[in-house]
Amino acid sequence: MDLQYASMHHDDIDNSVILCHACDLAVRRRALPSGVRALCPRCHTALYDTPFCSINGMLALCLSAVALFLPANLFPVLELHFLGSVRTATVFQGAMAVMDLGYWVVGIAVLVAAVIGPGLLLLSIMSQILLVKMGLNPGWQRDLYKWLLRRHGLFSQITMLEIYVISFLVSAFQLSDFSDIYFGVGTFSFTMLFLVTLFLQREYNIEHMWSRLND
Ligand SMILES: [Zn+2]
């Protein structure tokens, strides 16, 4: 891996200034070629590295997430065996059941955060990757790309898969005292969707996606 010293600009302090964790020197963050690590000019501590997300890596994560999305939402995430009766629930049925009880705001929140949000986020990242792969050359591609990037914050904020992974684990623990709990394809797909989306969001960097417009 090549090493490169990060540059300092005292006159141009903007929101991309970071502090060295070792000596607290303010350093301006800037785009590096891939496989290059930025070092602190004073104490040579590594500040940040591999700033360019690999488009193919993100595409692979995105395709896995899209493949998991349908089974995660169509198959039951929880299966209860209680006194001879079997009950299963998909995320969608859970949201509907809550709405039937009158808590329709909660039901809508569940649908948005567990189904619609992740769906929009995946579609958006997938489209951005495809647009980058097509070269972002005609005007409509650039316009669509910018439109998607501006909405990325909203899509990732309404995606809250982790809450559902935690809540069905908690309810499984609580219910396991008086009924048998089975996890199936739906539980597996939902948990995997959560993990893949987590890695995808970790790999995705909005600043680097914006910088592709200047290439
Ligand atoms: Zn330093």
Q: 62-108, pLDDT tens digit by residue?
A: 999 999 999 988 888 877 777 777 777 788 888 888 888 888 888 88
Q: How far is the CA of 17 from the centre of ligand 1 (A)?
A: 13
Q: How far is the CA of 54 from the centre of ligand 1 (A)?
A: 28
Q: How far is the CA of 3 from the centre of ligand 1 (A)?
A: 15
Q: How far is the CA of 19 from the centre of ligand 1 (A)?
A: 8
Percent above pLDDT 70 for the chain: 88
Q: How far is the CA of 41 from the centre of ligand 1 (A)?
A: 7
Q: How far is the CA of 4 from the centre of ligand 1 (A)?
A: 14
Check residue 69 and give its pLDDT. Answer: 92
* Residues linked to residue 85 through DSSP beta bridges, in sequence order: 82
| Length of the chain (residues) | 215
- Range 170-182 average pLDDT: 77
Dist. CA 159–CA 110, nearest whole Å: 10
Dist. CA 159–CA 40, nearest whole Å: 35
Where does the chain show beta strands of DSSP type E?
2-5, 17-19, 26-28, 36-39, 46-49, 78-82, 85-89, 180-182
What is the pTM (predicted TM-score) of this model? 0.70
The candidate with the shortest Cα–Cα distance to 94, out of 77, 80, 116, is 77
Task: Tell me whether residue 25 is exposed, middle or buried, using C-beta atoms within 10 angstroms of its C-beta: 0 to 12, 13 to 18, 19 or more.
Answer: middle
Q: How far is the CA of 180 from the centre of ligand 1 (A)?
A: 56
Dist. CA 170–CA 74, nearest whole Å: 21
Dist. CA 184–CA 192, nearest whole Å: 12
